[in-house]
Amino acid sequence: MRVLVKRFCLSYGRRIYKAGEVVDIADEKTAKELIARSGGDLEAVHATDAVPATSKTPLAPEAGGAGELPDVDPLDAVQPEKPKGKKK
């Protein structure tokens, strides 16, 4: 069963899954129990469901993103230094 981590983290199978990641849990009973106890932090997803992209969701292909970061203009990303002068 596929489980979406909606908030916080989930430690499962020697790995920590962060918000926005999908975990494949082989034992359906265990998956349902984790979802029931999560208080809404975990959600079952089906293979055909698209995972909604949010501000906390990584840009992964399974999350509906392109899987890469958008293009950035380096000149817009750099803030100019303020001139260092004498304080009045």
26-71: pLDDT as tens digits: 899 999 999 999 999 999 997 665 555 554 445 455 545 555 666 7
Q: Which residues, other chains included, contact 18 with Cβ-Cβ below 8 Å and sequence gap of 6+?
A: 5, 9, 58
Number of domains in the chain: 1
Closest CA to 6 of 45, 47, 61: 45
Task: Identify whether 11 is part of a domain.
Answer: yes
Which pLDDT band, with edges at 50, 70 and 90, does 74 fall under? confident
Instruction: Please check whether residue 7 is in contact with residue 54, taking contact to mean a CB–CB distance below 8 angstroms.
Output: no
Domain contains 6: yes
Please give the residue range of the domain that contains residue 57. 2-67
What per-residue confidence (pLDDT) applies to 84?
A: 73
Q: Is residue 81 part of a domain?
A: no
